[in-house]
Amino acid sequence: MKSDQCMQVQFWGVRGTIPAPGPKTVRYGGNTTCVSIRFDDNKILILDAGTGIRELGKELLKDDEEIFLLLTHYHWDHIQGFPVFGPIYQPGRRVHLLPGMNRSTVFGLLAQMDGIHYPVTPEDLLSDTEFIASGSLDYLRKHGIYVERIETNHPGGSSGYRIERGGRVVVFLTDNELDPPGERTTEYDAFVEFSRDADLLIHDAQYLPEDMPVKWGWGHSVIDHVRELARAANVKHVALTHHDPDRTDDALDRIQADSDAWFADNAPQITCSVAYEGLIFDLPASCGSNFLVAEQEVLLVQGEGLAVV
Ligand SMILES: [Zn+2]
Ligand SMILES: [Zn+2]
């Protein structure tokens, strides 16, 4: 990453529920959830270990960044890539595994490597691996990574995160139903405050209004509600992710066009991306004087700060 950046966010898996490879999903990608945030001090925070983590792992074999893997929850689409994450087989590689909910352990991540569901077991890991049973956020702070947590509305529970560095804010809210039926774990207004003024809001947008009411209560958001949250929280850019496995590239193109039109009409200061594998956001430190010079497409939001490369 460039010297004036403080965070670089990259999408490695943008699909929800189950991998969806094939000719109809080749442009946005079929891998399940994995997002990386590279920091300016040779550390990388990985959010979730869906199948997208496999390609990220190959990249990480080329360098020596210290790896922090923070999970939102243990549904398959968020852990299933872990056994094929290359760095865990690198002798001496520093890897920290962090559960999202304090009541949990990393059990879900490692339980799948039991010799029955996967041939390799945790005893076969070669990396210098730390398993953090609880207190993930304190542990991260000790390593200079500042993260806040919120519980999302999702069956079985899940965590959302707000990551800050160099005056920049990235909010990661996957597997969250903003308007669930029945009792809510977290009220809508709390998500607005949690996302307030973020440079980048990454949010679950699995469903369209026509998917309802059948999928009401399944723990994922309708895209319209995510747009409203972005406006209410005054974020600079919103990335829609956790796409339904049946959502084709053409359908996602239409969602991008509809979202562009909605924001142009309702909140023109906000820009929106339908996330795809390989999407990168470069965030320079806000106190720095140098604005970003990106190699490809550049998207400067409110005159500064965020670029889609
Ligand atoms: Zn999921
Ligand atoms: Zn889930």
Q: Tens digits of per-residue pLDDT, 273-284?
A: 999 999 999 998
| CA dist 211 → 29, 110, 136, 252, 260 (Å) | 21, 34, 36, 15, 21
Q: 28-39 burial by CB neighbour count: b if 16+ within 10 A, else e?
A: bbbbbbbbbbbb
Task: For residue 51, give the ligand nearest its CA.
Answer: 1
Residue 81's pLDDT is: 97
List, in sequence order, every residue forming a beta bridge with 8; answer none if it has no partner: 38, 282
CA of 228 to the centre of ligand 2 (A): 22
CA of 173 to the centre of ligand 1 (A): 11
Residue 2, pLDDT above cutoff 90: no
**CATH code for position 265:** 3.60.15.10
Residue 252's pLDDT is: 98
CA of 50 to the centre of ligand 1 (A): 9
CA of 18 to the centre of ligand 1 (A): 8
Residue 306, pLDDT above cutoff 70: no
Q: Give the whole-angstrom CA distance, residue 150 versus residue 58.
A: 31
User: Considering only CA atoms, which of 99, 87, 89 is closest in space to residue 56?
Assistant: 87
Is residue 223 very low, low, confident or very high in pLDDT (cuts 50, 70, 90)?
very high
| CA dist 220 → 76, 208, 288 (Å) | 15, 10, 37
CA of 80 to the centre of ligand 2 (A): 12
Q: Which domain holds residue 38?
A: 5-308
Is residue 300 very low, low, confident or very high in pLDDT (cuts 50, 70, 90)?
very low
Residue 19, pLDDT above cutoff 80: yes
CA of 35 to the centre of ligand 1 (A): 13
CA of 175 to the centre of ligand 1 (A): 5
When pLDDT is averaged across residues 183-199 and rounded to a whole number, the result is 97
CA of 77 to the centre of ligand 1 (A): 5
Helix 223-233 × helix 249-266 angle, to 10°: 40
Is residue 24 very low, low, confident or very high in pLDDT (cuts 50, 70, 90)?
very high
CA of 296 to the centre of ligand 1 (A): 31
Task: For residue 219, give the ligand nearest its CA.
Answer: 2
- Decide: 202 and 231 in contact? Cβ < 8 Å: no
Q: Give the whole-angstrom CA distance, residue 113 versus residue 103.
A: 21
Residue 192's pLDDT is: 98
Which residues surround the ion ligand 1 when the cut-off is CB under 5 Å? 16, 77, 175
CA of 81 to the centre of ligand 2 (A): 15
Task: For residue 204, give the ligand nearest its CA.
Answer: 1
CA of 20 to the centre of ligand 2 (A): 16
* Domain tally, the chain: 1
CA of 302 to the centre of ligand 1 (A): 31
Task: For residue 50, give the ligand nearest its CA.
Answer: 1
| CA dist 13 → 22, 42, 68, 152 (Å) | 14, 22, 17, 20
Is residue 247 very low, low, confident or very high in pLDDT (cuts 50, 70, 90)?
very high
Question: Is the full-model pTM beyond 0.85?
Answer: yes
Residue 188, pLDDT above cutoff 70: yes
